[in-house]
């Protein structure tokens, strides 16, 4: 693992709003993780959750969490990688999840849009990760793309008693139903797109205690950065957009997102409360 002493935490600008980026892929971004974290912290992003997509990237997520005080990790297997999962992968994820800065399982789920892994393998790995999340009392972070016909029933069957977070929310037509199951909603930069009217209505009307905000960097750059690589520093634009939709100040929205993040990721909240933000 990478020692945290290799990086010094930059100071945010004075009187800066305290943001969190609840889902990013620093390993997919242009630029070094150190530069990306530095840029984010300087504009008030005091925590970033780095998402694993397979065993190797999950190990890297934990290394980043050890190296950077502002970074936390989730560990999991993305549906694109499900076809390559072997018998030892779930055991390895369980080992990684014991780390004090690993705060959830995922991202996991189903993707029938690209179908880069056989659907049977996607379902098998998805069920295994939900079981892992249940056993470890960790939230499960869900990727579902053109697959809700299967992903939602599987969640209801296998994730009972588990906190479910729908990452990069894309099912506004099912918002009320999904809220009725107790699921949490995460909005990414695509909510700012000019034609995303249904998604914007979901962001406006979702109960105040049931949503959080992410970048999914380097994907889905918010306006005015659409079509360009996203970074955690740009999450503030999504906060500003949703705050305007909901008729609240950015500061009020950011405080609410932190409260909701504490509810979704209690291990992160406990780590911060215990003074662990300065490193593992």
Q: How much is the pLDDT for 15? A: 66
Residue 145 structural domain: 20-273
For residue 2, tell me if it sits in a domain: no
For residue 69, tell me if it sits in a domain: yes
- Reported as a single tens digit per residue, the pLDDT across 131-160 is 999 999 999 999 999 999 999 999 999 999
Asked whether the whole model's pTM tops 0.75, one would answer: yes
Number of domains the chain contains: 1
Comparing 219 with 17, the larger pLDDT belongs to: 219
For residue 1, tell me if it sits in a domain: no
For residue 33, tell me if it sits in a domain: yes
For residue 6, tell me if it sits in a domain: no
- Reported as a single tens digit per residue, the pLDDT across 53-101 is 999 999 999 999 999 999 999 999 999 999 999 878 999 999 999 999 9
Residue 248: other Cβ atoms inside 10 A: 15
Q: What is the CATH number of the domain that holds 257?
A: 3.20.20.140
For residue 186, tell me if it sits in a domain: yes
- Reported as a single tens digit per residue, the pLDDT across 197-213 is 999 999 999 999 999 99
Distance CA 27, CA 234 (A): 17
For residue 50, tell me if it sits in a domain: yes
Phi-psi region of 222 (alpha: psi -120 to 50; beta: other; left: phi over 0): beta
For residue 207, tell me if it sits in a domain: yes
């Amino acid at each position: 693992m990478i020692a945290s002493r290799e990086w010094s935490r930059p100071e945010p600008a004075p009187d800066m709003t305290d943001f969190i980026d609840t889902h990013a892929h620093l390993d997919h971004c242009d630029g070094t993780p150190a530069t990306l974290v530095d840029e984010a912290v300087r504009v008030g992003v005091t925590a970033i959750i780095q998402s694993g997509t397979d065993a190797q990237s999950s190990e890297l997520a934990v290394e980043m969490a050890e190296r950077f005080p502002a970074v936390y990790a989730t560990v999991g297997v993305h549906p694109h990688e499900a076809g390559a999962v072997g018998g030892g992968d779930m055991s390895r994820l369980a080992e990684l999840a014991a780390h004090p800065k690993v705060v959830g399982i995922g991202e996991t789920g189903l993707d029938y849009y690209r179908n880069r892994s056989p659907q049977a393998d996607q379902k098998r790995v998805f069920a295994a990760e939900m079981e892992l999340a249940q056993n470890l009392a960790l939230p499960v972070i869900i990727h579902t793309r053109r697959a809700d016909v299967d992903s939602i029933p599987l969640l209801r069957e296998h994730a009972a008693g588990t906190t479910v977070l729908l990452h990069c929310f894309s099912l506004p037509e099912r918002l009320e139903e999904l809220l009725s199951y107790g699921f949490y909603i995460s909005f990414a930069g695509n909510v700012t797109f000019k034609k995303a009217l249904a998604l914007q209505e979901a962001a406006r009307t979702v109960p105040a205690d049931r949503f959080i905000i992410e970048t999914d960097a380097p994907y889905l750059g918010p306006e005015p950065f659409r079509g360009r690589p996203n970074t955690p520093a740009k999450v503030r634009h999504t906060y500003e957009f949703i705050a305007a939709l909901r008729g609240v100040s950015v500061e009020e929205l950011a405080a609410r997102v932190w409260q909701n993040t504490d509810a979704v990721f209690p291990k992160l909240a406990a780590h911060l409360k215990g003074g662990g933000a300065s490193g593992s």
